[in-house]
Amino acid sequence: MDHKIPLFIVTGASGSGKTYVIKELRRMMPDVDIFDPDDLVEFLGHDWGGIRNIWLRLRVARNIAQSGRMTIICGTMMPWDIEKCADYPFFKHVYYLNLHCDEETREKRLRERNWSEEEIQNHKNFAKRLLEIADDVYDPPMPTIDTTDTDVAEVASRIKEWVLQYA
């Protein structure tokens, strides 16, 4: 690949709105390929290794990048896992943006999915951890969009602005 382009990852704990924003984001950014890794669960189940899951996502994004198109992956991925992937060097940079909601909203959203108390608490803790490490682990620091009361079109618009500043 002669000209590297960036990869964009919209991350966040479960219930933050990653899947919910995809349809609107695709409408606003038709020239960008946008993926929901949860779609793979239908075919591969929940029991396959995280690194293989991330590898597949990056391999697809790399092939898209070789066509000169940008990719946004809306899924929970951590930099230290992405950096282990063989396709990581093929991107100019990997940028992260965090979607976040308050605990009450997250709990409500996850209860609607019939999640257990333990799973809900784990994702509340994970959401807090993402906020704590956003300035230290991510380069540049990872911005956060609060989805608690924000309209999906506004969330998608802010994601689009974020992508365009690095495109």
| C-alpha span between 50 and 77 (Å, rounded) | 9
| Residue from 116, 65, 109 nearest 90 by CA | 65
| Rg of the chain, C-alpha, whole Å | 15
- pLDDT, one tens digit per residue, over 45-70 is 454 455 455 656 778 888 889 889 99
Total-model pTM: 0.90
pLDDT tens for 102-148 read 999 999 999 999 999 999 999 999 999 999 999 999 999 999 999 99
Distance of alpha carbon 84 from alpha carbon 133, whole angstroms: 19
